[in-house]
Amino acid sequence: MSLFKRLLNPNYKSEEKAKRAEKADHSTYYPEQKLPIDEKFTYNFKNNGGKFIYCENWEEVTEAFDNIMIENDWYEQDVFCVNEMLSTKFDGFNLNFTKKSDSKFFLSTCESLVSNNGSILLSSNQIKEKKLNELPANFVIFATTSQIVDSISEGLRIIKNQSSGYIPSNITTIQDFETEKEKDFMSYGSSTKNLYLLLLEDL
């Protein structure tokens, strides 16, 4: 525990005693339990304020997308989307696919889903050269379970391996999805997004 937490936490001593007692219950050789990366991502993503929708097939993806449209009254609205696969897949939803920053929401794929902090890794493949604060406040991200990685460095390694000589620019992460939460001094300057994740099982 850091010095700041010790100073600010009056229950520090009692908490430390409880932790030592808990450790004593385990053997020295008992392995530390680790969550699978998919569970860890889900926990951290929701903890960041993201809205997570798990889908087993494409039919469930379209149903979930339809529910998002209804919930937010986004039908017949401009949608920022540069991905032709997504604009084709969701062509029957009466949306106007465009590249205008003032669109109602941003529809995109991503590079990776980062487990250890629940963030979404994006690059110029998804957002071109735009900054996060230049994109709509509402995101709908489509991803697959095979895109979950443990760390940002692993996600960057995948981008490099898949680049075939061309490494995309403007690589960034977003992990602040609670638009209504009160900002602390650590989160000023970050770009908060109202984010839905449609996660398709492909493993």
pLDDT in tens, the chain (203 residues): 443 334 345 454 555 555 555 554 544 454 455 789 999 999 999 999 999 999 999 999 999 999 999 999 999 999 999 999 999 999 989 999 998 889 999 999 999 999 999 999 999 999 999 999 999 999 999 999 999 999 999 999 999 888 777 788 999 999 888 755 544 433 334 568 999 999 999 98
pLDDT for residue 16: 52
105-108 sheet: strands from edge to edge: 51-55, 194-200, 138-144, 105-108, 78-80, 96-98
Q: Which residues pair with 114 in a beta bridge?
A: 119, 149
pLDDT for residue 143: 98
Q: Which of 110, 108, 114 is nearest to 136 (CA)?
A: 108
pLDDT for residue 84: 94
Separation of alpha carbons 195 and 118, rounded Å: 12
pLDDT for residue 167: 84
pLDDT for residue 191: 66
Entry pTM: 0.78
pLDDT for residue 33: 58
Q: Which residues pair with 135 in a beta bridge?
A: none
pLDDT for residue 165: 72
Alpha-carbon distance values, 87 to 14, 54, 140 (Å): 56, 20, 12
pLDDT for residue 15: 53
pLDDT for residue 187: 39
pLDDT for residue 7: 38
pLDDT for residue 20: 53
pLDDT for residue 189: 42
Domains of the chain (ranges plus CATH)? 35-178+186-200 (3.40.50.10420)
